[in-house]
Structure 1
């Protein structure tokens, strides 16, 4: 078992190098088979790690360079249930993406697969490493692969623009992480999470240097997590990236940014920064992220951009769950991450089916044309309901655990926000499904909200006459995974163990530094079963989503005669224009902020860094 963690990083890297060297001479199906086999092997190994971290952690010092007297020079992997579970999720989504690409990019030799395997290695290393600097290294590996995957269709201007925005904004965030690591190293002389925790606990004080380092590192990780105001790159990247790549972006890459914040705090900074100093900042940031993401989501009519903003909204919900800093809430976050990744991955794959069967992902272009795709439509509608929190999907159970914490120890307004955001994002997906697959309501104007190039080309050779099993199968499998997250008690219990081990800094430090790396956690596990409250709140948000979708689709047709009549009355027409201006001005300003201009995005990132530093300092 101790030799397994580094292999899960090394094997996909070696496979990527081999395919880069020999891929041009290998048949396409051989490249597909090798890539899927490697990702499946990582999935199997990560599953073994999940089984082996039920009561203990697995620590691996590369080359056998174990600590001597608490000091070390080696590279360490410290695997607990949280890191192992994320690795399972990373590998499972990579397998789904690779199976889906069986009919994608027929002329690209092996480069797409090389980048996906490098992306897999970077995300796996980030989830398993026990060293802050190596976390930065893996952070940059997955980022570099992600930039290239976003701009993979290099002959089109849209992907290049999205990749450039993605790369520059996240590179600035990466520099923030590196500067923050330098400050912590200058203070402690350590880079390992466990060693940093020990050194900071011995020092016992959080001065301005620690606050500045925390703000810098959190800025970089929260940029990857697409938290407001660091989120601007995400929709631009998702709108132009290939659908199987979006599965990994929304399903696990942004969640790894949030994991980085949680790991940094619980395994290191909790020694000097009390929850009262961190929790309120994360709660406020999460609330702003959830609200902005939900509002922008319902304004979109480009399906991939709509799904991207729903990811922003759900990351805000997850950030609020982390900000509560309680075990039940963290268990809910872990469960929600799994179920959300599966549902969002399925929805992006289904959007890819639309693009490659019907040639577009614009609601206006697709109105009623999805009637010939009943299975895709049924899966899309089910995904929208699951995104809204319909029981018994894991999204509802994870959401319910966080909501219970909000009813007992958090601000009740955040509970209302949780339900509202779930309903709004689910309603946006259901609205698109009603228009595309049922032809419901009046058709939208063809020039409505064209944020991205409307001539988005299919990614298969010619339009598909039918969606092959390799495309629709992974989407259905991911929906089943989301259902299992809510119906299989072992999954919820694993999430509780992951939360308990994540907050156990003493056990983490002992596992990393002692000669017996199987140190166990003594933290009591929270209850993670269904309650009447979680079922009711999940049903409420799903019902609201369905109602809002129906109202949104049909209101334009119902109000059109009234609008025509009002326009004949000068006074009424003037009042109507004034009311419309007042109602839409905030939305127009919000949409204008997402301008696509790189300078604006970097300015907002730096403003967010300053605000985060001031907030951490003020709460002290």
Structure 2
């Protein structure tokens, strides 16, 4: 076994090396050899990340590339810093990559190794981003993720919608990245530092600074775009609608979560104390709540399965951000638990959507009415995923939701649990409704909407050579594994405590700086956040059961709304104009997306910069 300091560089370099080999020789290898090589490389990264995670239990694992360790707190070296949260994020990315590659064994008959090479490069970018302790190198890995993601989104170059989605993705994410790079430049001009720990030392003890606040807003913009937080989110559903199913697993399962991880890592280490915490809390709380509500409404209003799941991701990322915005260890614990379970559930649901597309030739919920009556296992797996998304105990999503709700309420937002319940119920209801309609023929076949801005999914094409007559085990097994993992996070003893300890370490700024710079910080840098002690509670279980029950009721109401008395449908008529406005805002025009991006920048600066100008 390599030394613990060598694990992080190996986890990054191994997939890059194998990707290069596949690009050079993939066209000459049999398809099964390409599949086996790529999957084995991803599995090796899982083992490396697991060993790294175990090593972080004794303290952060710091690797200074080339031996360029700090001298008097200053270094020009590239540093990788692994703590339980960063190593856990890298491990999650690697596990999802293995399952996505296994699922794709029946895909892309003419890929010749290019798809597999891109997937491994994507894994390298995500791993490097999660483990980087340097702001500029986070940007480098951020761009590696982005460049590969553009190519994966537009992998089906023969389809115009695929190319259009990739171009929208590339433009919006690149624009966000340029703003981040500009913010990094401002910080470097002010401090002469790029390492997160060095930035923390350079910014400590200074009064709030307009230039630093602007720099944080710009750095956060690119990360908020990657995290698909409203109003930076508009690209996400377009991308998920056209990207191959295994790629959607990675986008919703870990890439957007890494954007949120980046925001909290950068703020917690480098900017805590340099900006007014109340202002940062306020803007993150507003953006998180807005994302949760908008995402949930748009999710419930979809008939295109992949867009439905994409908006569900936006909604849940908003909930995670609300929990993180408490700046408490318990809030971080809840967000981490919730995010881990959500990754597994959402990945499984996207794989089910891929099976539906390749089994029945579409992802339009209404067109697929009753088409899946011959299925046996998948209907129940999809229903299970919908209830897990709604927060049904004892799934890990319910445990994370319970801890996050408690943390948000304790932080002074008594309305927080209600938002968590309603958002979870709406997103879960959308999946349950689709499962009942497709697999059980439920509902009375409501008329299709005449809205010109609603995306139907009726024109989606299968991703395999011909429609599947039966679902192969390589597609079925990853779904079962993912849902089992989501359940295990809620029932295995010690999981909540382990994540709580990881959350404590995530907020331990002093420990991070001590391990990275080799010096014990003093003064304001020495503070350590409160200890997390969240777990299953009576109120948490009750709210989980409530959100699951509401999800079932919402799904039944949507399926049988023509049988309800007119008074019961009055609220829907009131909401309809607002819903049409939301749909129109999600126009698919990249110019509109750019406009909303700069609206988001203005909101950030309004919350964080304007108070400093008074």
TM-score (norm 1): 0.94
Task: Tell me, in whole angstroms, the C-alpha distance in 2 between the residues paired with 1:252 and 1:96.
Answer: 13
Within a 5 Å distance, the mapping from 1:531-570 to structure 2 comes to 531-558=537-564
8 Å contact kept, 1:16–1:114: yes
Task: Tell me, in whole angstroms, the C-alpha distance in 1 between the residues paired with 2:602 and 2:240.
Answer: 27
8 Å contact kept, 2:322–2:408: no
1:131 corresponds, among 130, 134, 152, to: 134
The SS at the match of 1:94 is helix
User: Which residue pairs with 1:574 in the alignment?
Assistant: none
User: Which residue pairs with 1:461 in the alignment?
Assistant: 465
8 Å contact kept, 1:363–1:444: no
8 Å contact kept, 2:96–2:249: yes
Q: C-alpha deviations, 1:128-167, integer Å up to 9, x for none?
A: 0000000000000001111111111100011111111111
Q: C-alpha deviations, 1:21-59, integer Å up to 9, x for none?
A: 110001110110011111111111111111111130000
User: Which residue pairs with 1:221 in the alignment?
Assistant: 223
The SS at the match of 1:364 is coil
Aligned-CA RMSD value: 2.0
User: Which residue pairs with 2:600 in the alignment?
Assistant: 608
Pair 1:471 & 2:463 matched? no
Pair 1:526 & 2:532 matched? yes
8 Å contact kept, 1:331–1:398: yes
The SS at the match of 1:66 is coil
The SS at the match of 2:428 is helix
In structure 2, runs of 5+ residues without a counterpart are 521-525
User: Which residue pairs with 1:511 in the alignment?
Assistant: 515
Q: C-alpha deviations, 1:516-570, integer Å up to 9, x for none?
A: 9xxx99766421321111111111101110111111101124569999xxxxxxx
User: Which residue pairs with 2:256 in the alignment?
Assistant: 254
* CA drift at 1:458: 1.0
Task: Tell me, in whole angstroms, the C-alpha distance in 1 between the residues paired with 2:456 and 2:151.
Answer: 19
The SS at the match of 2:373 is helix
Q: C-alpha deviations, 1:79-135, integer Å up to 9, x for none?
A: 101100001100010011000001011121111101100100000000000000000
Pair 1:341 & 2:343 matched? yes
Moved more, 271-280 or 342-351: 271-280
The SS at the match of 1:351 is helix
Structure 1 residues 511 and 375, CA, compared in 2 at 3 Å: closer, same or farther?
A: same
Task: Tell me, in whole angstroms, the C-alpha distance in 1 between the residues paired with 2:475 and 2:466.
Answer: 15
Q: C-alpha deviations, 1:171-225, integer Å up to 9, x for none?
A: 11001110110011111000000000011115x1221101100110111100100
Within a 5 Å distance, the mapping from 1:391-402 to structure 2 comes to 391-402=393-404
Pair 1:81 & 2:84 matched? yes
Pair 1:5 & 2:16 matched? no
Task: Tell me, in whole angstroms, the C-alpha distance in 2 between the residues paired with 1:34 and 1:19.
Answer: 8
Task: Tell me, in whole angstroms, the C-alpha distance in 1 between the residues paired with 2:136 and 2:567.
Answer: 63
* CA drift at 1:65: 0.8
Pair 1:294 & 2:296 matched? yes
Moved more, 451-460 or 434-443: 451-460
8 Å contact kept, 1:334–1:498: no
Structure 1 residues 208 and 515, CA, compared in 2 at 3 Å: closer, same or farther?
A: closer
Task: Tell me, in whole angstroms, the C-alpha distance in 1 between the residues paired with 2:29 and 2:119.
Answer: 17
1:492 corresponds, among 472, 492, 496, to: 496
TM-score (norm 2): 0.95
* CA drift at 1:422: 0.5
Task: Tell me, in whole angstroms, the C-alpha distance in 2 between the residues paired with 1:267 and 1:107.
Answer: 46
Task: Tell me, in whole angstroms, the C-alpha distance in 2 between the residues paired with 1:187 and 1:411.
Answer: 36
The SS at the match of 1:324 is coil
Question: How many correspondences in the alignment?
Answer: 603
User: Which residue pairs with 1:119 in the alignment?
Assistant: 122
Within a 5 Å distance, the mapping from 1:194-343 to structure 2 comes to 194-202=197-205, 204-343=206-345
8 Å contact kept, 2:433–2:556: yes
Runs of 4+ in 1 over 3 A off after TM superposition: 444-450, 520-525, 557-563, 578-583
8 Å contact kept, 2:364–2:457: no
The SS at the match of 1:374 is coil
Task: Tell me, in whole angstroms, the C-alpha distance in 1 between the residues paired with 2:379 and 2:405.
Answer: 30
User: Which residue pairs with 2:152 in the alignment?
Assistant: 149
Pair 1:585 & 2:588 matched? no
Structure 1 residues 181 and 522, CA, compared in 2 at 3 Å: closer, same or farther?
A: closer
Task: Tell me, in whole angstroms, the C-alpha distance in 2 between the residues paired with 1:351 and 1:497.
Answer: 35
* CA drift at 1:408: 2.2
8 Å contact kept, 1:227–1:289: yes
Within a 5 Å distance, the mapping from 1:287-436 to structure 2 comes to 287-436=289-438
Task: Tell me, in whole angstroms, the C-alpha distance in 2 between the residues paired with 1:87 and 1:617.
Answer: 33
Q: C-alpha deviations, 1:270-302, integer Å up to 9, x for none?
A: 031242121111111101110000110111001
The SS at the match of 1:22 is helix
Task: Tell me, in whole angstroms, the C-alpha distance in 2 between the residues paired with 1:491 and 1:324.
Answer: 22
Structure 1 residues 581 and 433, CA, compared in 2 at 3 Å: closer, same or farther?
A: closer
The SS at the match of 1:489 is coil
User: Which residue pairs with 2:55 in the alignment?
Assistant: 52
8 Å contact kept, 2:252–2:313: yes
Within a 5 Å distance, the mapping from 1:90-109 to structure 2 comes to 90-109=93-112
